[in-house]
Structure 1
Amino acid sequence: MRADARKNRDHLLAVAGTAITEQGVDVSLRDIARRADVGLATLLRHFPTREALLEALLRTSFDELTAKAGELETSSSPDEALVSWLRDCTAWTTEYRGVTVLMAAAIEDTESALHASCVTLRATGARLLTRAQTAGKARTDIDGADLFALVAALAWLGDQPSLAPRADHLFDVVASAILTSAASNEAEGKHRPRARD
């Protein structure tokens, strides 16, 4: 790709990111083009569909979450790695309002531009979950699909103005439910204030 084409594409992605953060994934493509000071045809030449635009916009974040999982596997205990990644993934999905609905649909739709990225993200979470389960730190009656659904549910909570203040507390409740009793007691002990002697 030529340097000027790359620059135009990067500009469109930056503008789209801002628009989606403000208005959600259903923001008009025409509005994104207007904000970028280009015609709709120019936007569609770079990104022929809404999903193609979203895939390009979100790919960097997907890659970062995958890389973060790899780092956590070598630097943290299995339960800490799982909860840390789950927190990062949930926080990221709340940045772009409505993205969880698209991700949930894309995971089942092999024709979706987002399908491969969502499958990779789900597999990354499943790998961390399996590692924690093998270590006896996470319950064994859930799988990667369940974990992916929990990310979507937690992100949805954060996306609701009336529920957002409870999102952190509910994240902790869900995270402790994923961990086994010993692991969740250790995690709670780390966050609980020490009793004074």
Structure 2
Amino acid sequence: MRADARRNYEHIVEVARAAFTEHGVDVPLDDITKRAKVGAGTLYRHFPTREALIEAVFRSEMTAMSERAYELLETRPPFEALEEWLRLQLRFVEHKRGLGLALRAMDQGAETFAYCKKLMTEAVSAIVDRARQDGVIRADVRPGDILRLLHGIALASEADPSSAERLLAIMLAGIRA
């Protein structure tokens, strides 16, 4: 992809991310083109369908979340890195629930989910492995356990978002060595 085309692509994804956060994934695509200051042809050249745009935004979000895990691991002790990363994940789920639900409803979303699951599993594995090596979490904690527990907290706190922090604190206390 040419540099200008790549910039347009990334700009549209960023604008769509903001629009989806503010108005949900059903925001009119015309609104996104206006906000991005691009023509409809530019949008549809990169994203022939709404679903393609949703997938691109979701992949971008998960890539950023994965990268953040490694950044935290470089700058914080492992347990603090894990704790902060899990809080970021919970905030993402709370504010972007419609994005994941829309993607789940699409058949082609399976490839995107597989890609994102791989990213998240590798990211949490890096943090969990380091935390186990440092002896700050229980030796029997597996990366998949962390992701499933976090998913459970997200689902359990749907009706009462204020409970998410308390449930996360309980989970973290339970995995601490």
TM-score (norm 1): 0.66
Aligned to 1:146: 145
Distance 1:51 1:144 in 2: 30
CA contact (8 A) 1:94 1:156 kept: no
CA contact (8 A) 2:59 2:112 kept: no
- Look up the SS of the partner of 1:112 in the other structure: helix
Q: Are positions 1:47 and 2:47 aligned together?
A: yes
CA contact (8 A) 1:15 1:35 kept: yes
Aligned to 1:133: 132
CA contact (8 A) 2:55 2:109 kept: no
Distance 2:24 2:168 in 1: 22
| Identical positions, percent | 31
Aligned to 1:165: 162
Structure 2: runs of 5 or more not aligned: none
Aligned to 2:86: 86
1:42-61: CA deviation from partner (whole Å, max 9, x where unpaired): 64432245553234223443
**Judging changes above 3 Å, is the alpha-carbon distance between structure 1 residues 153 and 20 closer, same or farther for their aligned structure 2 residues?**
farther
How much has 1:128 moved relative to structure 2? 0.8
CA contact (8 A) 1:51 1:113 kept: no
* Amino acid of the structure 1 residue aligned with 2:170: V
* Amino acid of the structure 1 residue aligned with 2:142: D
Q: Are positions 1:32 and 2:19 aligned together?
A: no
- Look up the SS of the partner of 2:112 in the other structure: coil
Within 5 Å, which residues of 2 pair with 1:54-93?
54-93=54-93
Larger helix percent:
2
* Amino acid of the structure 2 residue aligned with 1:70: Y
Distance 2:13 2:122 in 1: 26
CA contact (8 A) 2:90 2:154 kept: yes
- Look up the SS of the partner of 2:97 in the other structure: coil
Distance 2:165 2:135 in 1: 25
1:48-106: CA deviation from partner (whole Å, max 9, x where unpaired): 45553234223443333333322332332222222122112222333312345578x6x
TM-score (norm 2): 0.72
Computing the radius of gyration from Cα coordinates, the structure with the larger value is 1
CA contact (8 A) 1:94 1:155 kept: yes
Structure 1: runs of 5 or more not aligned: 181-197
Aligned to 1:191: none
- Look up the SS of the partner of 2:16 in the other structure: helix
Within 5 Å, which residues of 2 pair with 1:98-113?
98-101=98-101, 111-113=110-112
